[in-house]
Copies of this chain bind each other. A is one copy, B any other.
């Protein structure tokens, strides 16, 4: 049984110049934590996220200031931007007019039909898609009371929201069905995938810190992606969103679906280890968070066996007593003082990849 089942066929939509669904690669998304109304801070964070491999960025639009700020932001960034709106259809329209490449809003929460129609018309005019974002923690009251916050209820809520748009002949849609636990998340996406060809935005919500967040997201999205389900993804962590992007790429890489950025190889420490490998590996890992080159980097504990064991690495360091070495493809390049090892490695990578 192969690890990956064939990808479930969905309809293709476009968020700016990024295609979602169909045969398009699974796109990596994240969301800024800077205030959208602070365009300078937002632009800086979006550039950092883009450098880390974020392909679509979402920004919160809690008020008109934020909606108007999108215009300034869009001028300075190179990836599509999605405006995240709750309830207020005027914010959705203002965001679209300011140049947002997509809207995240639940039509079921907008209110009167004519308001929903105004949003759909505006999105249609501009050719931008709407993401319906179902969240187990905030289901429509009538559904939640009748069915509980179950996967079935999540899908029902999603289908209701889809119908509101499709009744207006609006089909440029993607949908997410997030719960805070793996079980409901996986079941909801499986069920939705069996019912529709609308592209699916994967995510586990409120996933938490780095251990639980990466574990939950990896298991949940990993299972779904292995089953061929999912067209775009966001890992949610209560951390710098650059780390969300990194985690998303690690999930795609682990499943051999897509590849980006450096792969870090490091030996388990052993009795021959003569450097503080944990700290060095952590420093290197952190420094390479925003590196996009697909190189293999080795951090090894011993100059005797390190270079040979890591000969598949494009570049690596190995520690000694006071002196370490730099190597490439298993071959010795030069001796380096221990306390300069990390700097020398990072500089060398910079030279190789720029």
Q: Residues of A at under 8 Å CB distance from B?
A: 1, 3, 31, 33, 35, 60, 62, 66, 181-183, 186-187, 190, 206, 208-212, 214-216, 218-220, 222-223, 226, 236, 238-240, 243, 246-247, 250-251, 253-256, 263-271, 277-278, 281-282, 285, 299
Inter-chain pairs besides A31-B268, A215-B253, A239-B282, 11 sampled, C-beta below 8 Å: A183-B256, A208-B265, A209-B264, A211-B243, A211-B247, A212-B250, A215-B218, A219-B223, A219-B251, A219-B255, A239-B281
14 contacts between A and B (CB under 8 A): A31-B268, A33-B278, A62-B270, A182-B254, A183-B255, A208-B263, A208-B265, A210-B285, A215-B218, A215-B222, A215-B250, A215-B253, A238-B278, A240-B278
| Chain B nearest Cβ from A298, distance in angstroms | 10
Cβ contacts under 8 Å, A226 to chain B: 219, 223
Give how many copies assemble into the complex: 2
Cβ contacts under 8 Å, A31 to chain B: 268
| Chain B nearest Cβ from A180, distance in angstroms | 8
| Chain B nearest Cβ from A62, distance in angstroms | 5
**Given the known A-B contacts A222-B223, A238-B299, are A281 and B214 also in contact in the complex, defined by CB atoms under 8 Å?**
no
| Chain B nearest Cβ from A314, distance in angstroms | 15
Contacting pair A218 B222 (CB below 8 A): yes
Contacting pair A268 B206 (CB below 8 A): yes
Contacting pair A60 B208 (CB below 8 A): no
Cβ contacts under 8 Å, A66 to chain B: 271
- By beta carbon, the residue of chain B nearest A243 is B211
Which of B33, B246, B254 lies in contact with A216, CB distance below 8 A? B254
Contacting pair B271 A60 (CB below 8 A): yes
| Distance A243 CA – B285 CA, assembled complex (angstroms) | 16
Contacting pair B60 A250 (CB below 8 A): no
Contacting pair A219 B222 (CB below 8 A): yes
Contacting pair A266 B209 (CB below 8 A): yes
Contacting pair B190 A254 (CB below 8 A): no
| Chain B nearest Cβ from A275, distance in angstroms | 12
Which of B62, B183, B236, B251 lies in contact with A268, CB distance below 8 A? B236
| Chain B nearest Cβ from A37, distance in angstroms | 8
Cβ contacts under 8 Å, A212 to chain B: 250, 253-254, 263-264
| Chain B nearest Cβ from A281, distance in angstroms | 4
**Given the known A-B contacts A223-B223, A285-B211, are A206 and B238 also in contact in the complex, defined by CB atoms under 8 Å?**
no
Contacting pair B62 A206 (CB below 8 A): no
| Distance A282 CA – B187 CA, assembled complex (angstroms) | 30
> Which of A33, A209, A253: most chain B Cβ within 10 A?
A209
| Chain B nearest Cβ from A253, distance in angstroms | 7
Contacting pair A265 B182 (CB below 8 A): no
> Which of A33, A238, A255, A266: most chain B Cβ within 10 A?
A238
Cβ contacts under 8 Å, A250 to chain B: 211-212, 215-216
| Distance A219 CA – B270 CA, assembled complex (angstroms) | 26
Contacting pair A210 B208 (CB below 8 A): no
**Given the known A-B contacts A60-B271, A239-B282, A268-B236, are A214 and B206 also in contact in the complex, defined by CB atoms under 8 Å?**
no
Which of B246, B267, B268 lies in contact with A211, CB distance below 8 A? B246
Cβ contacts under 8 Å, A243 to chain B: 211
